Structure 1
Amino acid sequence: MRVGYGARASGRDHRQEVRHHPQIACPRGRSRRGARGFSRFVSDAVEHALALTETREIVEVFEDEHGSFTPEEIEGARRTWHGE
């Protein structure tokens, strides 16, 4: 029996399984990027994840010191980020 993407069988979320099992995820990545491009793809993904983690840490420190951002501040940051 094949379980579809994101379906639950025996209480397990198979999306988590795909993300955490390289033998499942790596062939999918290689097929999208080719053998040579895969290392770069993984390297870029790790750099992106680290940048997000570092950004999250900066925001947490700021909010600890100054309180949470207001909805207006968040919207202003979104507009700046998207060049609006």
Structure 2
Amino acid sequence: DHTLQIAGLVDEGRSVVHRDLGDGAFILFHLDDQQRLVAASGVGPGNRVAKDIKLSEMLIAGRVTPSTEALAGNANLKSMLPRAA
């Protein structure tokens, strides 16, 4: 009943931040030594983690270094995306 979705390269991560999404779903954000987001892995029923994994892909591509508090909390991932110049 649950799916696993992964974005990025988990092996590059040196620390992990957990975000509980409710309904048995969660995401693990993997950060490198510079606290840059390098991967995200999520588990949840159906497509529960799909949107957050897609946003995580964009954060990884943007080489974002979000705060661990924002990742662990309920901060909107879309608001962390780099702004176009």
TM-score band w.r.t. shorter chain: under 0.3
The two structures have a TM-score, normalised by structure 2, of 0.24
Higher gyration radius (CA): 1
| Larger relative strand fraction | 2
Higher relative contact order (CA 8 A, sep 6+): 2
The two structures have a TM-score, normalised by structure 1, of 0.24
| Larger relative helix fraction | 1
